[in-house]
Amino acid sequence: MLRAAFLAPLLVSTLVLAVPPESTADAPAPPSATVDCDYYCDDRDPSLPLSARRSAYRPGTSAPPTAGPPSTGSAPPVAMAVICNKYCDARDPALAPSNRHAQSVAVGGRQVSLRFNDTDAMGWAVISAAQQGDEVWLDRSFDAGVTWGSGSRLGNTAAPAGFGEWRTMMFNVDDWADLGVGLLRACGRPAGSSSIACTSWYRTTWNAGERRTAAATALMERYNLGTGLFDTTGWWNSANALTAVIDNIRVTGMSSYRYAIARTYDLNVRAWQGNFINDYNDDVAWWGLAWLAAYDLTGDSRYLNTARIGADHIFRFWDSVCGGGVWWSSSKNYKNAITNSLYVQLNAALHNRIPGDTTYLQRARTGWTWFANSKMINSANLVNDGLTTSTCANNNFTPWSYNQGVPLAALVELHRATGDASLLTKARSLADASTGSSFLNPGGILFDDGGGGDVPSFKGAYVRGLAALNRALPDRPYTGYLRRQADTAHSRDRSSADAYDQPWAGPFQRSDAARQHSAVDLMNAAS
């Protein structure tokens, strides 16, 4: 896995900071990225050569952008390109058919407010109790509030004498022509003062009219149009993020981000060893499942073919060690639960999409028989992480949430392929164990106790698998559980910009694309 670079989080509270005139030199530097290890490190298999973890053929990503101060203050603004959607930037707020107050902050006896015209997807800033010379403006960000570059000090204006309230013109939140998914905040500075107050980042309800689409839009703020991946997270996490976006299109009908499917494919199909294959078989399977979701949505056969190539690659790592199973990576030093449950799911899903297939069905059947007898499922009906290679015994490592969720999805696909009702019975027993586990659900809310670049994605895979099982069972037994998770996350673990953190029980502290896709998966699952 590639190291995830955690960027500065969205600002949630009021910011009131002194900014030296004509200078941003004293802005604090962002914290440096560190490798975070628990049972997994960010670079997970050190026995693999460096070439297996970094590839000359993978689209490069630039160094994380450095966030500036809360606003560029009186620093000269960078030239701004005018954005035209339904209307062009700098439209008179008097023409707005709606006026929603997002937030107000205080500075020097003034109130700085952010207002939205949701009808036209535009916003403006207002300063109240204004005195002559008070400044007010907007900042606009297209990377989830990490930077705002040429979107700084939009509509900057100073209040004239005799006006108790002064406002900017309206500016677009998004850039529809260039696929920019944006946020706005309002900033102000009293005349003669160096103190600036800014609201938190917000957006209009455009593509964010309810919690499912709002979460997906916040995820797409981190989509890198140059790489076709999601900034702030890694390679396999991006496969899950794309899957969450595709599922969101399916459950909400909002197709605004459909472009990400082909763009991701075209920019990355030659990465690593080609066809989304690298030295980690679980990575290959995650991408294979993403492309099957893309195939289901679009009908484009290239996605089905790529998933098939990935499954055939993984099959080459099946051998007789520990009686069967596929190896986690090309170093062949670990047989683990996630790789083998994904193997079953991917092969069964391929069978369900390829008329006349027998090969993938046989692989899925054999894979599940081995998995069920491997002893990775413990006495509490929870799935531990894997096997100790020397003894082929359960290693008793943490029963991560995704190790519980992917077998559910695998069994649903295998049941669809075979009609064997016992598979759903087994899946239900596993789901009852994981949803009822106080270890996995402290206080009733799902939580994986770990950091690093991998763990924040785990819960998304869990709820995706649980939702698949819930849809397959006529009594929908897990609807209440899923809705409780979603309601709690939405009320306790959400920023002003609909970004989510890892602990769904809250409080919100930071977000990234891994945390966010898990929230999108959750909102999709609770539909």
Q: Is the pLDDT of residue 174 over 60?
A: yes
Note the pLDDT tens digit of each residue in 69-126. 445 544 445 556 899 999 999 999 999 999 999 999 999 999 999 999 999 999 999 9
Average pLDDT over residues 494-502: 98
For the chain, percent of residues with pLDDT exceeding 70: 85
Q: Kindly state whether residue 460 falls inside one of the protein's structural domains.
A: yes
Q: Which two tokens stand for residue 5?
A: 């670079």
CATH code for position 107:
2.60.40
Same domain for 145 and 221, yes or no, is no
Instruction: Report yes or no on 104 lying in a domain.
Output: yes
Predicted pLDDT of residue 80: 66
Q: What are phi and psi of 498, to 5 degrees?
A: 65, 30
- Confidence band of 42 (pLDDT split at 50, 70, 90): very low
Q: Residues 6 or more apart from 352 whose CB is under 8 A from it?
A: 413, 416, 417
What DSSP line would sit under 220-273, residue for residue? HTTEETTTTEETTS-HHHHHHHHHHHHHHHHHH---TTTHHHHHHHHHHTTSTT
In this predicted structure, what is the pLDDT of residue 390? 97
**pLDDT value, residue 422:** 98
Shared-domain flag, residues 379 and 409: yes
Structural Rg of the chain based on CA atoms: 25
Q: Are residues 303 and 267 in the same domain?
A: yes
Q: Report the SS3 class of residue 496.
A: coil
pTM of the full predicted structure?
Answer: 0.89
| 3 state SS of 430 | helix
Tokens 């390829």 locate to 354
- Would 23 be classed as within a structural domain? no
3-state secondary structure of 211: helix
Residue 270 belongs to a domain with what CATH number? 1.50.10.20
Shared-domain flag, residues 465 and 356 = yes
Q: Could you say which of 163, 198, 233 is where a domain stops?
A: 198
Rounded distance, CA 478 to CA 141, Å?
38
The DSSP symbol for 126 reads E
Q: Give DSSP secondary structure letters for 55-106.
A: -TTSPP-PPPPPP-SSS-TTSPPPP-PPPBSSSBSSB-GGG-S--EEEEEEE
CA-nearest of 508, 388, 403, 509 to 448 is 403
pLDDT of 270-328, one tens digit each?
A: 999 999 999 999 999 999 999 999 999 999 999 999 999 999 999 999 999 999 999 99
Q: Which residues contact 46 (CB under 8 A, 6 or more apart)?
A: none
- Nearby residues of 251 by Cβ (< 8 Å), 6 or more positions away: 212, 524, 527
Cis peptide before 97 (omega within 30 of 0): no
Mean pLDDT within 427-450: 96
Half-sphere exposure of 318 (CA within 13 A, CB side): 17
Question: Residues 118, 226: one domain?
Answer: no
Q: Are residues 138 and 260 part of one domain?
A: no
- How would you class 205 by CB atoms within 10 Å of its CB: exposed for 0-12, middle for 13-18, buried for 19 or more? middle
Give the pLDDT score at 9: 32
Q: With a cut of 80, say whether residue 12 has pLDDT above it.
A: no
Binning the chain into helix, strand and coil, the percentages to the nearest 5 are 35, 15, 50
Residues 6 or more apart whose CB falls under 8 angstroms from that of 256 comprise: 207
Considering the domain architecture, whether residues 293 and 382 belong to the same structural domain is answered as yes
Burial bucket for residue 406 (CB in 10 Å: 0-12, 13-18, 19+): buried
Q: Are residues 365 and 296 in the same domain?
A: yes
Q: Please return the burial class of 31, using the count of CB atoms within 10 Å of its CB with bins 0-12, 13-18 and 19+.
A: exposed
Output DSSP code: residue 123.
Answer: E
Q: Is 232 left (phi over 0), alpha (psi -120 to 50) or beta?
A: left
Averaged pLDDT for residues 40-68: 47
Return the amino acid letter for 462. Answer: Y
Task: Tell me how far CA of residue 349 lies from CA of 19, 243, 361, 415, in angstroms.
Answer: 56, 15, 9, 10
Which phi-psi region, left, alpha or beta, contains residue 433 (left: φ > 0; alpha: ψ -120 to 50)? alpha
Are 383 and 500 in the same domain? yes
- Condensed to tens digits (0 to 9), the pLDDT of residues 151-164 reads 999 999 999 999 99
In a domain, 132, yes or no: yes
Confidence of residue 509 (pLDDT cuts 50, 70, 90): very high
Question: What is the overall mean pLDDT for the chain?
Answer: 89
Mark whether 449 and 418 lie in a shared domain: yes
Instruction: Give residue-wise pLDDT tens across range 439-460.
Output: 999 999 999 988 788 999 999 9
Which pLDDT score, from 0 to 100, does residue 356 have? 98
Does 372 share its domain with 457? yes
Q: Look at the chain and report how many structural domains it folds into.
A: 2
446 contacts 483 by C-beta, under 8 angstroms: no
Helix, strand or coil, per DSSP, at residue 26: coil
Does the pLDDT value for residue 4 go beyond 60? no
Residue 252, Cβ neighbours under 10 Å: how many? 17
- The answer to the question of residue 185 being in a domain is yes
In the beta sheet, which residues pair with residue 17? 196
- At 149, the pLDDT band (50, 70, 90 cuts) reads confident
Q: Per the domain annotation, does 77 fall within a domain?
A: no
Phi/psi at 356 (nearest 5 deg)? 80, 5
In the listed set 198, 223, 238, which residue is the last one of a domain according to the structure? 198
399 and 482 housed in the same domain: yes
- Is residue 12 in a domain? no
Q: Contact, 121 vs 173, CB < 8 A? A: yes
pLDDT at residue number 8: 30
What one-character-per-residue DSSP string does 134-185 give? -EEEEEEESSTTS--GGGTTEEEEEPPTT-SEEE--BEESSBTTTTB--EEE
CA distance 318 to 327: 7
| pLDDT of 193 strictly over 90 | yes
Residue 358 lies in a domain: yes
Residues 434/428, Cβ–Cβ less than 8 Å: no
- Domain encompassing residue 474: 211-526
Domain boundary among 138, 166, 198: 198
* Cα–Cα dist 353/355, whole Å: 6
322, 389 in Cβ contact below 8 A? yes
Q: Which residue type sits at 146? A: V
Q: What value does the mean pLDDT take over residues 133-150? A: 96
Segment 9-35 shows an average pLDDT of 33
Reading the block at residue 285, the tokens are: 């399977």
Residue 49 — pLDDT band, cuts 50, 70, 90? low
336-373 pLDDT tens trace:
999 999 999 999 999 999 999 999 999 999 999 999 99
pLDDT at position 410 is 98
